[in-house]
Structure 1
Amino acid sequence: MRYYNLLTSVKSRLFRLLSELKYPLLFSLAALLFIDALTRIYLDYIANPILSKFTSSVFADGLFFGIAIYVIVSLITKFRKGYYVKGSHVVMCTIGLFFYVYFRFCTLTNLFRPFYSIDSLKYTDVFLFLLAHPILLKLFSFFKSKASVPLAGSAGSFSAVNPIKSKSEDVLGRASRAQRLSVEIRNYKASESLAVGVVGEWGSGKTSFFYMVKESIVEGNDRNIIIDFNPWLNISIDSIVEDFFKTLEKSLEGYSLNIARTVREYAHNVVGLHKNNFADALLKGSDLILDLSLIERFNLLNNLLKKLNRRVYIFIDDFDRLQPNEIFETLKLIRNTAGFDSFTYVVAYDRDYLVESLERYGIPKANTFSDKIFQIEVEILPATTEQIHGHVIKILTGAFPSSEREISAFFIERYKLLAKLGTLRNVTASLRNIRDVERFMNSFIPDYNAVVNEVLFQDYFILKLLKFKYYTAYSFLFSYKEDLLTLEDLNRAQGKTPKYILKRADSNEKSKNKNHYDIFTGSLLEFFLKSGRSYTESELNDVRALINNLLFDEQKGTLSIVYEANYS
């Protein structure tokens, strides 16, 4: 998959570059074929009547040296700013540099006016500076970007919260399921289009699963045509439809120009694409473009696509970021307007958002509407608490290998002990999905790395997680410390430093809670959070787990927050 992605990226860039440079390249080819004729034209109309009148002087030398210095200073300034130069601009300057060097040193050497002070330099050599300027800037930027790539996995670095794109990155054991689905899709034999829905709630990992399915399909048959379409990048319904057909046209150009042209004509009929194209206007005015109906054009294109003898796979992500009318229009594309027999659509979406959007758009029976669009729907279940727990441990031990023993003691050994006692919940239970984990780690890892020798790992982890997920509870602990906490040695053992504990909601009566480890239940903090209706019962259970793990009585190091000196 990695090599496929690399090859696809190179092909895409090369195709885009050639599209931008087709006219300069054609001109350059023509110039090479007619180089002698162009040389005579240059001599007869430029060099002899105009440039021959120019005379060397000290003033001219100074002027051209000034231009050269300005170009060099500009180059340095732009390099420091990280100035971007398009690849097509570099290619055009390279072509211009080639022709200048050819004329300057090979054919017209004696016709270039030398400097007054330096005979070996020519006044036109200023073009060397101008043409080399973007080339050097591109080279400098390339080497600078290579040298400044951060070390992967460094403890102080952020990681992008992006879905995985390869089965080798799978941490939830879903790769085999993605492989089975891809086989089922490839073996689909019906003579009509297929639409597959990858369904899951936000953060469930549906996009990661979506990419693994794509990787398996790519590996299964190199004759497949793979197209990525992201409707979210567009700003209106018309632009979504227009961009879809433009993407399809560009993707099919490498297989058949006739089919690509037919796609354009069909799209023109659907949404009026290229209506401002002068050539199309002339053709239509002379009746060279047949006035076929939409159905006739659909059938024509459908039959042509079959002759490719290739399956076209179109992958659509970010579907549930669209507005209701945009979602409906995209569904129409899949099922109707672009439901060609050789097409397979793989779409990732949140079913609840889809149904809600269709209801808002006025679609009757919205909860079953997707059944008419997608022949296969694959439900992606959320990651289990055990999977999330394991992923947290893996990330932390990778980021802080020197703290592996402390991490293991907190997340594994201590968890097993407390699970046997049936007391405390896992502190990572409040992280609902892998995306939650990644976002939290982007905050925790660099912050902990800055204070690693000043805090107790487990306390710092719990406090950061409490702040990340339940900021109201976190803020109460610090804004109302005197009201919610009191110093007391729960063990009542003399000579021990008092620890902070939560004040009880009923100070005149001992708490009815018999669980020694559950100090949150019956506390003032619980009372205030319930009174303010800040959290649901499930969220309160998460807060309870975090607070109990933070403050319950156990042998803690001197850096623990339970001691007054460290609570700030």
Structure 2
Amino acid sequence: MKFINKKQILWVIVIAAILTFFKTPIHNFLNFFIVEPLLQDFELNTFGELFLLAILVSYSVWATQTMEKPLLINISIIVLTFYIFQRFNETWNFAPFSILNYKEGLKYWDFIVIGIVSPSMFCFLIEEDDQKIVLEDPRGFVSDNPVDKVDDDLFGRNNVAKQIATMITHTNSKRSFAIGILGEYGSGKTSFLNLISGSMPPNSCEKLSFNPWTSENAESIQKDFFDMLATKLAKLESKNNFTYILLFKKTK
């Protein structure tokens, strides 16, 4: 699993460059709009520190349960980059956090950053624990659910799925074409189709997923398929904004 991708690394470089080359304007901006009107007269007391800790803990729990992992990672990257450059900036005088200040140097800013960044770490710990439950106890039943996200692609098929998705996207043909995914029962055909679907650029096509297992019998499969296709085409024709249709068909 990748903790950080190339795009996020680029964001770190850009933010670091801005904080380095525009150090004085950023300092003046923060001082004028945040430090002087809000933080300069901030009252330090035990109740306020306990209240701040309660807010940080509540945010961590809420963010871990409701926010998506990529968003949490992006927030953590931005906050940590900004924190590193400002925390060790000698022009700032950070207020100490007295309650938990067991070690010299701990400030309010440190605990605020920890509270903001902690949900992204919790997500990784929770996911690792879930994987350990499945991998470390082979004596129990194993679910046969298809893969629906890249993080669950244990066989590394996503790279091939991306290649196929790219080929589909760049195929400009006046005639229809078909792609078949062949394999034995339980070999991962549905998972592979899900990976291809997830690799398609947003709004690049209209997708129609047909599952013959939902049909009552073999004779009704063809009728059910074309009924679904007709319904989809009717909706697209009313919008008049579709380019082509990607059909995912599973066979019994």
Q: Distance in 2 between matches of 1:49 and 1:122?
A: 20
TM-score scaled by structure 1? 0.27
Paired amino acid for 2:203: K
Q: Distance in 2 between matches of 1:244 and 1:327?
A: 22
Q: Deviation string for 1:320-374 (max 9, x for gaps)?
A: 56675431266899xx9638xxxxx775356xxxxxxxxxxxxxxxxxxxxxxxx
SS in 1 for 2:144: coil
Q: Distance in 2 between matches of 1:84 and 1:53?
A: 33
Contact 1:94 1:135 in 2 (8 A): no
Contact 1:67 1:126 in 2 (8 A): no
Q: Give the total of aligned pairs.
A: 205
Q: Distance in 2 between matches of 1:87 and 1:193?
A: 39
Paired amino acid for 1:38: I
Pairwise CA RMSD: 5.4
SS in 2 for 1:132: helix
Q: How far did 1:40 drift?
A: 1.9
Change (3 A) 1:349 1:133: closer
Q: Distance in 1 between matches of 2:118 and 2:142?
A: 35
Change (3 A) 1:319 1:138: closer
Contact 2:96 2:107 in 1 (8 A): yes
Q: How far did 1:132 drift?
A: 2.6
Change (3 A) 1:31 1:319: farther
Establish whether residue 36 from structure 1 lines up as the match of residue 7 from structure 2. Answer: no
The equivalent residue for 2:109 is 124
Q: Deviation string for 1:106-164 (max 9, x for gaps)?
A: 3434x22335675744333441232233133223223322332245753x41441669x
Paired amino acid for 1:52: Q
Question: Which of residues 87, 102, 115 in structure 1 aligns to 2:70?
Answer: 87
Q: How does 1:258-273 map to 2 (within 5 A)?
A: none
The equivalent residue for 1:47 is 35
Q: Distance in 2 between matches of 1:68 and 1:132?
A: 14
Q: Distance in 1 between matches of 2:204 and 2:18?
A: 31
Q: How far did 1:41 drift?
A: 2.0
The equivalent residue for 1:133 is 118
The equivalent residue for 2:141 is 157
Q: How does 1:305-384 map to 2 (within 5 A)?
A: 317-318=209-210, 320=212, 324-328=226-230, 338=244, 347-348=248-249
Q: Deviation string for 1:159-178 (max 9, x for gaps)?
A: 41669xxxx9xxxxxxxxxx
SS in 2 for 1:246: coil
Contact 1:71 1:130 in 2 (8 A): yes
Larger radius of gyration: 1
The equivalent residue for 1:193 is 175
Q: How far did 1:246 drift?
A: 0.8
Q: Distance in 2 between matches of 1:161 and 1:44?
A: 55
The equivalent residue for 2:129 is 144
Instruction: State, as a whole percentage, how many aligned pairs show the same letter.
Output: 14
Q: Structure 1: any 5+ residue segments left out of the alignment? A: 1-5, 169-190, 199-203, 216-226, 231-242, 249-266, 268-314, 340-344, 351-381, 383-568
Paired amino acid for 1:93: S
Establish whether residue 113 from structure 1 lines up as the match of residue 68 from structure 2. Answer: no
Contact 2:209 2:248 in 1 (8 A): yes
The equivalent residue for 1:64 is 49
Paired amino acid for 2:41: K
Paired amino acid for 1:326: M
SS in 1 for 2:74: helix
Paired amino acid for 2:175: S
Q: Distance in 2 between matches of 1:40 and 1:161?
A: 55
Contact 1:89 1:134 in 2 (8 A): yes
SS in 1 for 2:177: strand
Change (3 A) 1:37 1:53: same
SS in 2 for 1:53: coil
Contact 2:211 2:249 in 1 (8 A): yes
Contact 1:90 1:135 in 2 (8 A): yes
SS in 2 for 1:193: coil
Change (3 A) 1:325 1:34: farther
Contact 1:114 1:122 in 2 (8 A): yes
The equivalent residue for 1:246 is 203
Change (3 A) 1:14 1:63: same
TM-score scaled by structure 2? 0.52
Contact 1:317 1:348 in 2 (8 A): yes
Paired amino acid for 2:28: R
Paired amino acid for 1:338: Y
